Amino acid sequence: MEKQKLLIVEDDEDLRTQMKWALVRDYDVLMAENRQIALEFVRNDHPAVVTLDLGLPPHPAGVEEGFAALNEILTELPQAKAIIITGRGEKEHALRAVGMGAYDFFYKPIEIDELKVVLRRAFHVSQLEREHWELQQRLSGDSFEGMLGTSDKMQDVFAMIRKVATTDAPVLIEGESGTGKELVARAIHQRSTRNTGPFIVINCSAIPETLLESELFGHEKGAFTGAHVQRKGRFEMAGDGTLFLDEIGELSLPLQVKLLRFLQERVIEHVGGRKEIEVDTRVIAATNRDLKEAMQNGSFREDLYFRLGVINIYLPPLRERRGDLLLLAKAFLTKYAEESGKKLNGFTVSATEAIEKFDWTGNVRELENRIKRAVIMAEGKRLTTRDLEMEATRAKYESMSLKEAREAMEKELIERSLARNKGNITKTAVELGVSRPTLYDLMQKAGITTDG
């Protein structure tokens, strides 16, 4: 197996040789005593990891030559993991280097065993990033409307899209807010024989009920105050294309009846009209509500549910597809860095760890928005936890007493669990491992209210 390449940039020949012999069994070691030779190795050999002493000739007593080398190395090879070698009294230099995009720093005198641990970690992260990049490249040509996902659950979703796209059956997409339900609907449309027709979107929760019927089905002149001309609705606008009804669970019962009629007979009537109009439109619906629960409480028709859900696609929340987190994060970073014209080389180690540990109750949309904001705010070469507004949770509690910190953390955990479970007390209690009465007591104590 070919060894991974490690570049040691160190002007002290004895230390350089000592490091080489300690590491040569594990890595293909390259050595440079100055910035110029280091850059030649970077351009020609593309080492995955570089150790860099900041004190380089012609000014070994200073640090500016080392910082210049760091900047040029990361400009030439952004994916390289640069580990800064610095004295213990020069912490500000180490932090400056990390801000410029260095992966980590290591204090002198060098303890080889400790350095080996840092190097193993750096090479491991480098390998993961390379694999993610390769996967992203393979997926970038896919026509899933920009969707990325290598997890088993997302591969199942993609497989379903391929199968249902060739049919004309209604599709019901279920999933939490921010999971990408509209992207799935667009992908189905693009892969169908209707892809030359329009893809029309309407959010059933965003339009007042008094206007929604006219928006969907159109109206005749004089049908109501302000109806000065005849107007086509979204069904007719979709024509031989696809109509995507988002948040279908918010549709009123009278409109559910009209939608059911269309699905059964393929005809509609304008508001204020009596003429039946045939429409050849495929319907794809989506919801973040539990429609089976809505059927039980009478707010959603059972016959409409089964008409809409001839084929059901469940879109998993981000917490159920952890393997996709970094792939998505890097894709969003690349996208918004290019849009803003910034040269960003990825995430710091702590930022990567924070992303992987975060709950992401807002799913992919929350991840995208957070990274978009972080790119705008970033000042260094890599996004930090500060840029992402995801600094260590413990920092929030450091000024509190133990009792205050415990109560604050308890409240945060309950609120996040309620958000994940859409206010459902029973599901939240099960997730937190407490009884319903106990949960109610904890919520009352913390001042948490819910409509669920």
Residue type for position 207: I
Residues 257-294: tens digit of each pLDDT: 999 999 999 999 898 888 889 999 999 999 998 899 99
Lowest-pLDDT range, 31-35, 92-96, 117-121, 139-143?
Answer: 139-143
* Residue with more model confidence, 14 or 130: 14
Nearest to 409 by CA among 439, 436, 446: 446
- Measure the CA angle with vertex 206, ends 359 and 369; round to 5°: 35
Q: Angle at which helices 349-357 and 325-340 pack, to 10 degrees?
A: 120
Q: Which domains does the chain have, with CATH numbers?
A: 5-138 (3.40.50.2300), 152-315 (3.40.50.300), 397-446 (1.10.10)
Highest mean pLDDT among 11-15, 217-221, 348-352, 435-439: 11-15
Q: Is 1 helix (H, G, I), strand (E, B) or coil?
A: coil
pLDDT exceeds 50 at position 347 = yes
Lowest-pLDDT range, 28-32, 38-42, 55-59?
Answer: 55-59
Nearest to 18 by CA among 102, 142, 109: 109
* Rounded percentage of the chain residues whose pLDDT exceeds 90: 42
Q: Two tokens at 347?
A: 């995430």
Can you give the pLDDT at residue 396? 59
Can you give the pLDDT at residue 423? 81
pLDDT exceeds 80 at position 76 = yes
Residue 6, beta-bridge partner list: 29, 49
Task: Give the chain's mean pLDDT.
Answer: 86
CB atoms within 10 A of CB 359: 15
Report the C-alpha gap between 45 and 390 in whole angstroms.
36
Strand locations in 154-303, DSSP E?
171-174, 199-203, 242-246, 267-268, 277-278, 282-287
pTM: 0.59
Q: Two tokens at 246?
A: 């988002």
Kindly indicate the confidence band of residue 317, based on its pLDDT and cuts at 50, 70 and 90. Answer: very high
Residues 229-249: tens digit of each pLDDT: 878 889 999 999 999 999 999
Strand locations in 152-253, DSSP E?
171-174, 199-203, 242-246
Residue type for position 24: V
Kindly indicate the confidence band of residue 399, based on its pLDDT and cuts at 50, 70 and 90. Answer: low
Q: Two tokens at 391?
A: 């600094």
Residues 195-220: tens digit of each pLDDT: 999 999 999 988 888 789 889 998 88
Exposure on the CB side of residue 433, measured as CA atoms within 13 A: 2
- Residue 9 gets which letter from DSSP? E
The DSSP secondary structure of 207-221, one letter per residue, reads S-HHHHHHHHH-B-T
Report the C-alpha gap between 421 and 429 in whole angstroms.
10
Tokens 């998993």: give the residue: 316
Kindly indicate the confidence band of residue 36, based on its pLDDT and cuts at 50, 70 and 90. Answer: very high
Residue 29 has φ and ψ, to the nearest 5°, of: -90, 125
Report the C-alpha gap between 84 and 316 in whole angstroms.
41
Q: What is the mean pLDDT of residues 408-431?
A: 79
Kindly indicate the confidence band of residue 323, based on its pLDDT and cuts at 50, 70 and 90. Answer: confident
Kindly indicate the confidence band of residue 75, based on its pLDDT and cuts at 50, 70 and 90. Answer: confident
Q: What is the mean pLDDT of residues 147-157?
A: 86
pLDDT exceeds 50 at position 143 = no
Residues 79-119: tens digit of each pLDDT: 899 999 887 667 788 888 888 888 888 888 888 998 999 99
Residues 175-189: tens digit of each pLDDT: 998 899 999 999 999
Can you give the pLDDT at residue 145? 59
pLDDT exceeds 80 at position 29 = yes
Mention every residue, 6+ apart, whose C-beta is less than 8 A from residue 72: 35, 39
Can you give the pLDDT at residue 411? 83
Tell me the CA end-to-end span of the chain in Å, nearest whole number: 58
Burial (0-12, 13-18, 19+ Cβ within 10 Å), 284:
buried
Please give the helix or strand (H or E) that residue 82 lies within, else none: strand 81-86
Residue 202, beta-bridge partner list: 245
Kindly indicate the confidence band of residue 359, based on its pLDDT and cuts at 50, 70 and 90. Answer: confident
Residue 82, beta-bridge partner list: 50
Contact 404, 365 (CB under 8 A): no
Q: Angle at which helices 436-446 and 425-432 pack, to 10 degrees?
A: 100
Can you give the pLDDT at residue 134? 64
User: Alpha-carbon torsion 297, 303, 305, 306, what sign?
Assistant: positive
Can you give the pLDDT at residue 141? 43
pLDDT exceeds 60 at position 65 = yes
Q: Two tokens at 162?
A: 């391929």
